[in-house]
Amino acid sequence: MSLTSSADWGRVLTAMVTPFDAEGRIHEQGTRDLVGHLLSHGSDGLVVCGTTGEAPTLSLDEKRRMFELVMETAGGRGAVLAGTGTNDTRDAVELSEAAAAVGVDGLLVVTPYYNKPSQEGLYRHFRAVAEATTLPVMVYNVPGRTSVNMEAATCLRLAREVANIVAVKEAGGNMMQITDLISGAPDGFRVYSGEDGLVLPMLALGAYGVVSVTSHVVGPDMQAMIRAFLAGRTNEAARLHARMLPIVRACFQATTPSPVPVKAALNMLGVAVGRPRLPLVEANEREIEIVGHALRGHGLLV
């Protein structure tokens, strides 16, 4: 199997936050501004309404509107993937069909959360969603969020048997599983890192790129690191990897979940994205201090 041009999304995809206004509604101008910022600061494409976009708090109508807004604003300057995964297969199919109607470039479909399906259940879920549309699909394994791990064998079965499942965002952190996944993947199937701190090690194993949170603020560095590695400048890539780690640590603090810290970082940098929606709350003083320290250390904030 080989990827079609419609699935050539690029190497740095940003899992975009959803900007909210003071009343907690989608901030449409803020969304347009954020899309422009990301596409001019290192992002090849955008993932809309994923975990970082606080998808569980968005209604179906809000998700449709976000897909429309980002597609309109991107205007072909970068790929747009719609986050359409839920823990109900029928809902995921419905949302995927709605995203296809908007004209997005692909789908990101997360493993069903909370209900903890078997590997066979995962296979049937992803197959049902993918077969509901002709769009290329990136499946998303993030056991730390969903409490279920999609094993390499299950992902590879999908890659071999479902023509439009063309990539995986792997955020399990198990390098042996990642090795099995990359080494066993059919031609053209792309593995993206779902953990910003593991992009370089995963590239060394043969991963293609990253679906990133920290690229909201260090997109050019993420892009430069990948290019340096691919050009054989491994020392330069390692230096950039180490330079970004304080930003990674600040954006993934133990005391508060993503996207809370990265929203704080964007607001500090003058890219207004508002507060998160409940049940997430704003970063506290200590968490903001950690974010600010990392931004200043990176030369992003005076």
Q: Is residue 19 a part of any domain in this protein?
A: yes
Q: Is residue 142 a part of any domain in this protein?
A: yes
Q: Which of 63, 169, 192, 263 is catalytic?
A: 169
Q: Is residue 115 a part of any domain in this protein?
A: yes
Q: Is residue 288 a part of any domain in this protein?
A: no
Q: Is residue 298 a part of any domain in this protein?
A: no
Per residue in 88-111, pLDDT (tens digit) is 999 999 999 999 999 999 999 999
Position 7 scores a pLDDT of 74
240 pLDDT higher than 90: yes
Q: Is residue 256 a part of any domain in this protein?
A: no
Q: What is the mean pLDDT of the chain?
A: 96
Pairwise CA distance, residues 173 & 166, whole Å: 20
Catalytic residue list contains 63: no
Q: Is the dihedral of CA 7, 234, 227, 259 positive or negative?
A: positive
144-151 average pLDDT score: 96
5 pLDDT higher than 80: no
pLDDT-based confidence at residue 3 (cuts at 50, 70, 90):
very low
Per residue in 184-225, pLDDT (tens digit) is 999 999 999 999 999 999 999 999 999 999 999 999 999 999
Q: Is residue 174 a part of any domain in this protein?
A: yes
Q: Is residue 271 a part of any domain in this protein?
A: no
CATH of the domain at 174: 3.20.20.70
H or E element in which residue 243 lies: helix 234-251
Position 2 scores a pLDDT of 34
Q: Which residues, in sequence order, are bridge partners of residue 81?
A: 47, 106
Q: What are the phi and psi torsion angles at 88 (to 5°)?
A: -125, 115
Q: Which domain holds residue 119?
A: 5-233
292 pLDDT higher than 50: yes
Q: What's the number of domains the chain is made of? A: 1
19 pLDDT higher than 80: yes
112 pLDDT higher than 80: yes
User: Could you tell me the pTM of the whole model?
Assistant: 0.96
Q: Which of 113, 123, 140, 208 is catalytic?
A: 140
Residue 55: closest CA among 217, 259, 249, 197: 259
